[in-house]
Each structure stands twice: as C-alpha cells, then as structure tokens.
C-alpha cells in the first residue's frame, strides 16, 4: 500500500498541511518540525511526487547551471567541478537537482537558457561567469527570472545578486608580492577580455605597478583563453622581447601550468629565471612543479553561497539583490624568486 501525506502527518504528529509545507521547505515551519517530519518520511519510505508538486506550485525543485560556451573545455578547468561541488552540497541538503546547460557556442548557451525558462525546467539559474554585455544575464533580468551570478556583473550591479571575490584587490596583492621581491619587469597573461574577472585582475595588476611607479608596457599584456593551449601561445611572444619580463601575473592556475610547460621547452626555469604568480588555487596548483604561489579564491564557498542565494530568490521573489564577497588568501608557495635575495624553497 502506498504511503500518503496523511500517514506521514500521523507519524510526525502534525497536520497534513504541515507535511506539505515541510516538503516545500516553507520558511515559517520551525527546524524542529522539519526534522521530525523528514525523519517520519524517511522511516516510512515516503517520496513526494515531484511532478504533482510541480503542477500544483509550478516548482521543479531544479536549479539551472550555466557555463560560458564550450562546456567541454570549461570542464577541463578544475575551477568548474569545484564550484559545482559547492553548489551541489546546498542543493542536495534542500532537495534540489541540478540541470547543467552545455552549449558549445554563445548562441547555443542563450537558446539553452531560453528553453530552461520557457519550458519551466528550473526554478532558478546560476551563471558561473560574468561577461561584458552578456545577453543571457540581460535576458534573465528582462524576464525577472530568479538568477545569481558568480563574479561581478558588468552593469546593473544593484539589480543582480552576485557572489564574487574582490579580484582587483587580490590581483594588486599578488602583483605586489613580485614587486616586493625586486621584480620591475612584470607581464600580465589574462583570459578573455570580455570576462569581467579578467578586467578586474588586469586592473589590480596595473594599480600595483602605478603605485610603485613602474611602467605599464603594452607588449607585457597577453590575452588568451583560460586554457593550457592559450598559455602556450602567449609565452612565445613575451620571451622574444628585447627586455623579457622577470615576473608573470597569470589570471588562472591552469593557464600557469601551461606556461610553465612551455618555459621548460624554451629552457627557461621557474622560479630561477622567471617568477610566476596566479589565481584560483585549484588542487593542481599545489602538486605542480614548482607549487604555484596563487590566490585562493575559495571556489567551493563561491558555489555554496551562490546556491543559497538563488534558493532564497526562488522562495521569495521579492528578495532584494545582494552582493556577497568571499574572502581570498595569498598562498605563498615556490614559483617566485626574491631577486634581491635567494629563491624560496
């Protein structure tokens, strides 16, 4: 015989309507009651009929995850699995499933988001990137659909809930680490210039140079995808210069690993010949040789906070837009050399 809401209500000593509210995770139900009802549901083996609930309250209990185009390449970067782990931990606790959009082109990503919204496939959406003039973010704003952005919005700062690090400040700090070690010729290798995170990290790099009255050289900028292949192409140009840099600020750990590999092919050693600092602190940064000095942006926490924010927005459409800044830490390892002194071990 099928277990019903009435059976759960009887076991938990509450009204059937209370069981329904617990299933919907209603904020007005106390945690004690929720625990008691969930315990009864588990013991009786009761599973809510998600489809029936969806028809009743238009809820899908699913969150959409949107990456920038080329999802297959994006998933090669350890940032994405780690941010998904942070999102999943919250989604799992609150009984939400994840629906991942995997467009290869910008157009496919946009169409995928439209299908999510029009097809009532998800209750809310998390964008795992922030792009300059992003049609996806603009579309979601226009539709007044609950969404959260990981990164800093390019516009509409006060309208878009976002979870970010202070990337300008982080980049300034990590560039100053090189300056404090005596480096004056410092280059910047960044990702796409239409990604807000690239622009912020570039701005922090420039601030540090300006404050130390060091020149900002046009030929010390390289922009490529946040990927190994992009890193490799970038290096060749830099080290052909008459005055090659002694320090590199690289906007992503995965790209840094590609740069180190290419430098080895050129016979250039890190940190003996050139120092490298980076961002993200993905797990590879600690086990690569040499271990990378990088900014820990707390990727898991970015995902965790984004999931909480989007579920808040789903449960309360009137929830005002908010900005959550996750702290960063400098992980000072072995990829830099104090050229006023000796290399760090």
pLDDT given for residue 168 in this prediction: 98
- Cα 48 to Cα 230: distance, rounded to the nearest angstrom: 48
pLDDT given for residue 255 in this prediction: 86
CATH number of 167-297: 3.40.50.2300
Instruction: Give me the mean pLDDT over the 56-68 stretch.
Output: 83
Total-model pTM: 0.82
- Cα 1 to Cα 255: distance, rounded to the nearest angstrom: 58
pLDDT given for residue 345 in this prediction: 45
Instruction: Give me the mean pLDDT over the 90-102 stretch.
Output: 91
| Eight-state DSSP code of residue 275 | E
- Cα 238 to Cα 232: distance, rounded to the nearest angstrom: 11
In this prediction, residue 182 has a pLDDT band, given cuts at 50, 70 and 90, of: very high
In this prediction, residue 234 has a pLDDT band, given cuts at 50, 70 and 90, of: low
CATH-assigned architecture of domain 62-165+299-328: 3-Layer(aba) Sandwich (3.40)
pLDDT given for residue 193 in this prediction: 86
pLDDT given for residue 175 in this prediction: 98
Q: Comparing 20 with 33, which gets the higher pLDDT? A: 33
What is the overall mean pLDDT for the chain? 89
Sheet strands (E) in the chain:
62-66, 97-101, 124-127, 147-150, 161-164, 186-190, 221-223, 247-250, 275-280, 293-296, 323-325, 329-331
pLDDT given for residue 343 in this prediction: 46
Whether cis (ω within 30° of 0) applies to the bond prior to 238 is: no
Domain boundaries, given as residue ranges, for the chain: 5-57, 62-165+299-328, 167-297
Long-range contacts of 35-42 (CB under 8 A, 24+ apart): 36/12, 37/8, 37/12, 39/12, 40/8, 40/11, 40/12, 41/8
Adjacent-strand bridge partners of 162: 149, 323
Same fold flag, 5-57 and 62-165+299-328: no
pLDDT given for residue 58 in this prediction: 65
Instruction: Give me the mean pLDDT over the 202-213 stretch.
Output: 98
Instruction: Give me the mean pLDDT over the 272-296 stretch.
Output: 96
Q: What angle do CA 336, 337, 338 make, to 5 degrees?
A: 125
pLDDT given for residue 233 in this prediction: 65
Instruction: Give me the mean pLDDT over the 252-262 stretch.
Output: 88
141-159: pLDDT as tens digits: 999 999 999 999 998 889 9
Q: Comparing 45 with 141, which gets the higher pLDDT? A: 141
Instruction: Give me the mean pLDDT over the 109-128 stretch.
Output: 93
Q: Comparing 113 with 3, which gets the higher pLDDT? A: 113
Whether cis (ω within 30° of 0) applies to the bond prior to 301 is: no
The label of the residue with tokens 């209370």 reads: 18
Q: Regarding the domain delimited by 5-57, which CATH topology (the fold level of the hierarchy) does it fall under?
A: 434 Repressor (Amino-terminal Domain) (1.10.260)
């Amino acid at each position: 015989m099928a277990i019903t809401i009435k059976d759960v209500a009887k076991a938990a000593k509450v009204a059937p309507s209370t069981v329904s509210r617990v299933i919907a995770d209603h904020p007005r139900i106390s945690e004690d009651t929720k625990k008691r009802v969930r315990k009864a549901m588990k013991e009786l083996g009761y599973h809510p009929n998600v489809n029936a609930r969806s028809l009743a309250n238009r809820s899908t209990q699913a969150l959409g995850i949107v990456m920038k185009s080329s999802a297959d390449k994006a998933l090669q970067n350890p940032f994405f699995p780690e941010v998904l782990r942070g999102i999943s931990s919250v989604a799992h606790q609150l009984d939400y499933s994840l629906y991942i959009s995997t467009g290869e082109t910008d157009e496919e990503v946009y169409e995928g988001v439209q299908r999510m919204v029009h097809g009532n496939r998800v209750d809310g959406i998390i964008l795992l990137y922030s792009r300059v003039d992003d049609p996806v973010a603009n579309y979601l704003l226009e539709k007044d659909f609950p969404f959260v952005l990981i990164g800093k919005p390019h516009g509409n700062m006060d309208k878009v809930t976002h979870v970010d690090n202070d990337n300008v400040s982080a980049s300034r700090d990590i560039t100053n680490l090189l300056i404090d070690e005596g480096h004056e010729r410092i280059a910047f290798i960044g990702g796409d210039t239409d990604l807000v995170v690239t622009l912020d990290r570039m701005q922090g790099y420039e601030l540090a140079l300006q404050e130390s009255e060091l020149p900002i050289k046009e030929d010390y900028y390289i922009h490529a995808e946040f990927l190994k292949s992009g890193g490799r192409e970038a290096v060749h140009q830099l080290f052909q210069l008459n005055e090659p840099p002694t320090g590199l600020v690289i906007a992503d750990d995965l790209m840094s690993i590609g740069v180190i590999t290419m430098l080895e092919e050129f016979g250039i050693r890190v940190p003996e010949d050139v120092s490298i600092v980076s961002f993200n602190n993905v797990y590879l940064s600690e086990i690569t040789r040499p271990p990378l000095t990088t900014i820990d942006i707390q990727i898991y926490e970015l995902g965790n906070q984004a999931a909480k924010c989007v579920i808040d927005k789903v449960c309360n459409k009137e929830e005002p837009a908010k900005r959550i800044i996750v702290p960063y830490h400098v992980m000072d390892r072995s990829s830099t050399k104090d050229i006023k002194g000796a290399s760090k071990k």
